[in-house]
C-alpha cells in the first residue's frame, strides 16, 4: 500500500513535466488498458492506473484473476477519492475471447502489461501493432566474489531468492560464485543452513517466513523443483509439503552449467541455482547470457571489481552488497533491458514514464535570422555542416534549434548520473546508457528529419545504423564514411520501405530499437510478426530534446549499500558514478 501511495504522489508531480515541453505538445491517449500481475496485487495495478490517469487518459484495468479482489478495492478507493467512474473502469473478465477483444480494440491507445515475456508475445500475436508497454520477465543472478562479506552475501541471497516464495520478477534465480568462494565449504554450509532455517507455511501462521506459491506447481516450475540436469545436485532438496501442490520448501541446486535450461529459464518459484566461475569476467558473462536483463547483483568489497561490474553488466536495476528485490518509486525506478522490457516504455516510477503514455506533436518556432551554430559542440556542428547543402534555411534552423534543445536536455537530465534521494546509508544512482538504434528514413519523409535525429545520436554517443529511401546529402555520406566522423555509424543503406521491412524481418538479430521516420509503423510491425524484441519509435520528429533523446538511451538504476555496520563504506564511492 505504501508503494501505491508513492506512485500517486510521484506521478502527480511528474504530470507537470508534460506541460513544460517547449518544442512539442504531449497529447494524452484517449484510453489505456492496464493488465497487472497477481504477485503485487495492489502496488503494480495502482502504479499503472495512476500513471495512466496522470497522463490524462481514460483507464480500464483488467486485473489478474488471482488478484481481482485487491484490484477492486484499489479501484474503489480511487473512486471514493474523486476519480470519476467514466474515467476509470474495472473490467473483470476471464482470460478468453472478451479479454482478447479488450486488449486489441482499436480504441485502445496503450496497453500497460506487467508479466511474462511470453504474455507480451501472446498479446502481439493478437495484434501485431499493439501499442504495448511491458515490464516482463527476469533471470536474475547475484555474483559473489572472494572479496565479499560472505555473511552478508548469504543473507541477501536467501532474501532475494525466497522472499515471496521466489515469485517476484526481480527475485534471485542464480548465484554465481567466483574463484575461492565456489570451493568454500564454509560458505556452502552457511547458505544451506540459511535456506533450511526458513519456516515455510501459510500466511495466517505467525511463524511463517516463506508462504505458498500462487498455484500448484506445473510446467517449467514443476521441472525446476523436481528434475535435475546432468551434473547437477541438490544442496537443498525442495519438497512438496501438503496436498494442495502450493506449499513447497525452498530448493537449491548446485552445478548449473552455462547454457543449460536452468541457466537461461525463468521459473518464478522457490528454487535457486548455483553456478561457478573462475574469474569475475567469466561470472559477468554468465550473468549477461540469458535473454533477460531485469535485476542483477554483486557482493564485493573491492571497488575495482564493483566498477568493472557496473560498467559491463546488462540489466536495468543493479544492486551492490544488498538484496536485488524491493525497488522503490523514484529512488530505484523499475524496468529492465533486453527481454525484460517490451515496447517504447521507460522505467516505472521514473522521470520519463509518463512521456511514453501519449503521443507527441511537433511545435516549430519561427526561424531565426542567423545561421550561426554558436554554443553547439564541435561534433554536432560537424554533422549539421555536412548536411547543410541539402536542406533549406527554415529546415536548417529547425536542426539548429533541435541541437540547442538536445544540448539543454543532455545537461539538465540525460548526461549526468544523479542520486535524487541522497540517503547516507545507501546510494541510489539513476543514469542513462546509449543503446544501438536503427534509423529508417521512409519514402514519404525528408532528409532534414534524418539529420535532426543524427544530431540526437551524436549528443548521446549512440551507435546508429541508417536505412533510407530518400537521397542523402553527399557531404553527410562522406562524413559518415570518414575516420573522423563524430557518429558511430556507417554510410546509409539505400532501399525501399518494403525492402527494409523484409530485410529486418529476415534477420537473425533484428535491431532492438527502430526510429521510424514517416512510413507505416503498422506495416513494419506486421512484417516483423509483432515481435516483442523490436521497439518501433514512430512519432513525428520534433525539435524537443527532452523527447527525441529518449529512443537513443536506456535507463539504469544502481543501488549500493554505502555503510559497513553503520560506518561509511569507501567501497561504495565508485569513481565512474
Dist. CA 261–CA 303, nearest whole Å:
33
Q: Domains of the chain: which residue ranges?
A: 2-136+336-356, 140-326, 368-554
Supply the Cα-derived Rg of the chain in whole angstroms. Answer: 25
Binning pLDDT at 50, 70 and 90, where does residue 134 land? very high
What per-residue confidence (pLDDT) applies to 533? 97
Is residue 84 over pLDDT 70?
Answer: yes
Helix axes 378-387, 447-460, angle to 10 degrees: 170
Confidence of residue 440 (pLDDT cuts 50, 70, 90): very high
pLDDT band at residue 573 using 50, 70 and 90 as cut-offs = confident
Contact 543, 398 (CB under 8 A): yes
Q: Between 388 and 333, whose confidence is greater?
A: 333
- In eight-state DSSP terms, residue 518 is S
Active site (annotated) includes residue 314 = no
Active-site residue, 426 included: no
> Is residue 309 classed as helix, strand or coil in its secondary structure?
helix
Catalytic residue among 3, 121, 169, 395: 169
Mean pLDDT of the chain: 96
Cβ–Cβ under 8 Å, residues 156 and 323: yes
Asked if residues 468 and 494 have their Cβ atoms less than 8 Å apart, the reply is yes
Residues 6 or more apart in contact with residue 512 via CB below 8 angstroms: 338, 435, 436, 533, 534, 535
Which of 448, 321, 322 is CA-nearest to residue 395?
Answer: 448
Find the mean pLDDT for residues 245-271.
97
- What is the bridge-based pairing of β-strands 437-441 and 341-342? unpaired
pLDDT > 90 in the chain, percent? 93
DSSP bridge pairs for 90: 61
Q: Would you say residue 369 has pLDDT above 70?
A: no
Catalytic residue among 135, 305, 413, 555: 135
Is the pLDDT score of 571 beyond 90?
A: no
Angle, CA of 117, 123 and 126, to the nearest 5°: 145
Grid cell digits, residue 33? 488498458
Report pLDDT digits (tens) over 262-276. 999 999 999 999 999
Q: At residue 13, does pLDDT exceed 80?
A: yes
Here the cell at position 126 is: 493478437
Contact criterion met (CB below 8 Å) for 186 and 150: yes
Span 517-521, mean pLDDT? 98
What pLDDT, on the 0 to 100 scale, is given for residue 371?
A: 66
**pLDDT value of position 242:** 94
Measured at the alpha carbon of residue 326, what is the angle toward residues 320 and 330, in degrees to the nearest 5? 90
Superfamily the domain 368-554 falls into: Aldehyde Dehydrogenase; Chain A, domain 1 (3.40.605.10)
What DSSP string describes 358-417?
EEEEE--PPPPS----TTS-HHHHHHHHHHGGGS-HHHHHHHHHHHHHHHHHIIIIITS-
Q: Average pLDDT, stretch 134-163?
A: 97
Between the alpha carbon of residue 515 and those of residues 59, 375, 425, 466, the distances in Å are 28, 27, 40, 10
Distances (CA, A) of 189 to 181, 236, 266, 553: 12, 11, 26, 43
Q: Could you tell me the fold of the domain covering 2-136+336-356?
A: Aldehyde Dehydrogenase; Chain A, domain 1 (3.40.605)
Q: What is the CATH number of domain 140-326?
A: 3.40.309.10
Q: Do domains 140-326 and 368-554 have the same CATH topology?
A: no
Q: In this model, does residue 576 exceed pLDDT 80?
A: no
pLDDT in the model for residue 321: 97
pLDDT tens-digit map of 454-498: 999 999 999 999 999 999 999 999 999 999 999 999 899 999 999
Separation CA 433–CA 460 (nearest Å): 8
The pLDDT score that the predictor gives to residue 526 is 98
pTM, to two decimals: 0.97
pLDDT at 144 exceeding the cut of 80: yes
Amino acid at each position: 500500500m505504501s508503494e501505491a501511495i508513492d506512485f500517486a504522489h510521484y506521478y502527480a508531480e511528474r504530470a507537470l513535466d508534460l506541460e513544460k515541453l517547449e518544442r512539442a505538445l504531449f497529447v494524452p491517449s484517449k484510453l489505456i488498458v492496464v493488465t497487472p500481475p497477481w504477485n503485487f496485487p495492489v502496488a503494480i495495478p495502482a502504479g499503472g492506473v495512476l500513471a495512466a490517469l496522470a497522463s490524462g487518459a481514460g483507464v480500464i484495468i483488467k486485473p489478474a484473476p488471482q488478484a481481482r479482489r485487491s484490484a477492486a478495492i484499489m479501484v474503489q478507493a480511487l473512486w471514493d477519492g474523486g476519480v470519476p467512474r467514466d474515467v476509470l473502469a474495472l473490467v473483470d473478465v476471464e482470460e478468453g475471447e472478451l479479454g482478447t477483444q479488450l486488449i486489441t480494440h482499436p480504441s485502445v491507445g496503450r496497453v500497460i502489461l506487467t508479466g511474462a515475456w511470453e504474455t507480451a508475445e501472446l498479446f502481439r500475436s493478437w495484434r501485431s501493432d499493439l501499442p504495448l508497454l511491458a515490464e516482463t520477465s527476469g533471470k536474475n543472478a547475484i555474483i559473489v566474489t572472494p572479496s565479499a562479506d560472505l555473511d552478508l552475501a548469504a543473507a541477501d541471497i536467501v532474501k532475494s531468492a525466497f522472499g515471496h516464495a521466489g515469485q517476484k520478477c526481480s527475485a534471485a534465480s542464480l548465484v554465481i560464485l567466483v574463484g575461492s568462494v565456489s570451493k568454500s565449504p564454509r560458505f556452502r554450509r552457511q547458505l544451506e543452513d540459511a535456506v533450511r532455517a526458513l519456516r515455510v507455511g501459510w500466511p495466517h501462521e505467525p511463524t511463517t517466513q516463506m508462504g505458498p506459491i500462487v498455484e500448484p506447481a506445473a510446467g517449467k516450475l514443476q521441472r525446476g523443483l523436481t528434475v535435475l540436469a546432468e551434473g547437477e545436485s541438490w544442496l537443498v532438496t525442495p519438497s512438496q509439503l501438503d496436498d494442495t501442490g502450493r506449499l513447497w520448501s525452498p530448493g537449491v541446486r548446485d552445478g548449473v552449467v552455462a547454457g543449460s535450461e536452468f541457466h537461461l529459464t525463468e521459473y518464478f518459484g522457490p528454487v535457486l541455482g548455483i553456478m561457478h566461475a573462475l574469474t569475475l569476467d567469466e561470472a559477468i558473462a554468465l550473468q549477461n547470457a540469458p535473454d533477460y536483463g531485469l535485476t542483477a547483483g554483486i557482493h564485493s568489497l573491492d571497488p575495482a571489481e564493483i566498477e568493472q561490474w557496473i560498467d559491463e553488466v546488462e540489466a536495468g536495476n543493479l544492486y551492490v552488497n544488498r538484496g536485488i528485490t524491493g525497488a522503490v518509486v523514484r529512488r530505484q525506478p523499475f524496468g529492465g533491458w533486453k527481454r525484460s522490457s517490451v515496447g517504447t516504455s521507460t522505467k516505472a516510477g521514473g522521470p520519463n514514464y509518463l512521456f511514453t503514455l501519449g503521443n507527441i506533436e511537433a511545435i516549430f518556432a519561427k526561424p531565426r535570422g542567423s545561421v550561426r551554430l554558436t554554443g553547439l559542440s564541435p561534433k554536432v556542428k560537424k554533422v549539421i555542416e555536412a548536411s547543410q547543402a541539402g536542406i533549406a534555411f527554415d529546415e536548417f534552423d529547425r536542426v539548429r534549434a533541435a541541437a540547442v534543445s538536445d544540448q539543454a536536455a543532455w545537461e539538465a537530465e540525460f548526461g549526468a548520473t544523479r542520486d535524487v534521494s541522497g540517503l547516507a546509508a545507501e546510494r541510489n544512482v539513476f543514469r542513462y546508457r546509449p543503446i544501438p538504434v536503427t534509423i529508417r528514413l521512409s519514402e514519404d519523409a525528408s532528409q532534414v528529419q534524418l539529420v535532426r535525429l543524427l544530431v540526437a545520436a551524436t549528443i548521446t554517443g549512440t551507435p546508429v545504423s541508417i536505412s533510407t529511401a530518400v537521397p542523402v546529402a553527399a557531404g553527410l555520406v562522406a562524413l559518415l564514411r570518414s575516420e573522423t566522423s563524430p557518429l558511430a555509424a556507417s554510410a546509409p543503406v539505400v532501399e525501399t520501405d518494403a525492402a527494409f521491412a523484409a530485410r529486418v524481418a529476415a534477420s537473425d538479430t533484428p535491431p532492438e530499437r527502430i526510429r521510424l521516420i514517416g512510413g507505416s509503423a503498422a506495416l513494419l510491425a506486421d512484417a516483423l510478426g509483432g515481435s516483442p524484441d523490436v521497439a518501433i519509435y514512430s512519432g513525428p520528429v520534433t525539435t524537443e530534446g527532452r523527447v527525441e533523446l529518449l529512443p537513443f538511451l536506456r535507463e539504469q538504476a544502481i543501488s549500493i549499500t554505502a555503510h559497513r555496520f553503520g560506518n561509511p563504506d569507501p567501497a561504495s564511492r565508485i569513481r565512474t558514478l
